[in-house]
């Protein structure tokens, strides 16, 4: 295998997707290629980002499926159709079932906006994570890239990067700084690391 084919799963603006696209263009990701973007939100700006970058994009909506099993089956069909080797959850706001994650051991990674095991698990997503960090009074937070398994945010950690919390931070300013200083840096590096292992047959 010369390059690992990557699917990025998104739900919203796609800032982490953009970080991956930029990293691919700059050569940070050289053993992987973003071959597909999947969104569970037809209005996600991430789809526009994919289009601008010339990356095929597909939308799978839970409301169009009779149940979650059909929703995940449609995603599986796309992963097979596009011959995907690595799945990256980049702001994908839907918990995947144990059956789904079990089919892709060490082949699904996620970026979470805290230093796991702090502020993670069920209910900790988006601004909620940063609100909790500020409420607790931590002086350092950050981001984590980890493998995805049946436990939300429970898979093995691949990379982490710390970010200082400022005295005057709001959840919004902290969210932005964690993205800029941590998420957008470690997600592409983690992608390259796993893609290289896949290419080498590890």
Q: What angle do CA 188, 8, 101 make, to 5 degrees?
A: 105
Q: What is the dihedral of CA 175, 23, 202, 150, to 10 degrees?
A: 30
- pLDDT (0 to 100) of residue 90: 94
Contact 115, 160 (CB under 8 A): yes
Tokens representing residue 166 in the block = 């400022």
Look at residue 58 and tell me whether its pLDDT is greater than 90.
yes
Which of the four pLDDT bands, split at 50, 70 and 90, describes residue 123? confident
DSSP symbol at 157: E
Q: How confident is the model at residue 202 (pLDDT cuts 50, 70, 90)?
A: low
pLDDT of residue 122: 86
Q: What DSSP element (H or E) covers 168?
A: none
Whether residue 174 has pLDDT greater than 80: yes
SS3 for 129?
Answer: helix
User: Longest Cα pair distance anywhere in the chain, in angstroms?
Assistant: 49
Average pLDDT (161-185) is 97
186 backbone φψ class: left, alpha, beta (φ>0; ψ -120 to 50): alpha
| Residue 73: pLDDT band with limits 50, 70, 90 | very high
Strand 4-10 and strand 86-89: pairing?
parallel
The answer to whether 100 and 72 are in contact (CB under 8 A) is yes
Q: Computed from CA positions of residues 44, 60, 50, 29, in that sequence, does the dihedral angle turn out positive or negative?
A: positive
Domains in the chain, ordered, with CATH?
A: 4-199 (3.40.50.170)
Peptide bond before residue 173 is cis, with ω within 30 degrees of 0? no
Query: Residue 84: what pLDDT?
Result: 98
Which of 1, 6, 2, 27 is CA-nearest to residue 194? 6
Residues assigned a catalytic role: 112
Average pLDDT, the chain: 96
Q: How confident is the model at residue 129 (pLDDT cuts 50, 70, 90)?
A: very high
Could you give the percent of the chain with pLDDT greater than 90?
Answer: 93
SS (H, E, C) 59-96: ECCHHHCCCHHHHHHHHHHHHHHCCCCEEEECCCCCCC
- Which of these, 85, 76, 195, 96, lies nearest to 152 by C-alpha position? 96
């Amino acid at each position: 295998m010369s390059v690992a084919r990557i699917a990025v799963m998104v739900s919203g603006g796609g800032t982490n997707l953009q970080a991956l696209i930029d990293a691919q263009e700059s050569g940070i990701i050289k053993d992987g290629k973003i071959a597909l973007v999947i969104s569970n939100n037809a209005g996600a700006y991430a789809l526009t980002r994919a289009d601008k970058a010339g990356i095929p994009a597909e939308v799978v909506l839970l409301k169009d499926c009779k149940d979650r099993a059909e929703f995940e089956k449609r995603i599986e069909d796309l992963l097979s159709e596009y011959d995907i080797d690595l799945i990256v959850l980049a702001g994908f706001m839907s918990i995947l079932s144990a059956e789904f994650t079990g089919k892709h051991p060490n082949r699904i990674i996620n970026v979470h906006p805290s230093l796991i095991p702090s502020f993670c698990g069920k209910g900790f997503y988006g601004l909620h994570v940063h609100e909790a960090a500020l409420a607790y009074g931590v002086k350092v937070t950050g981001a984590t890239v980890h493998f995805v398994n049946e436990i939300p945010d429970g898979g093995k950690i691949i990379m982490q990067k710390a970010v200082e919390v400022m005295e005057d931070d709001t959840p919004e300013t902290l969210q932005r700084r964690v993205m800029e200083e941590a998420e957008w840096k470690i997600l592409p590096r983690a992608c390259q690391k796993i893609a290289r292992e896949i290419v080498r047959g590890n």
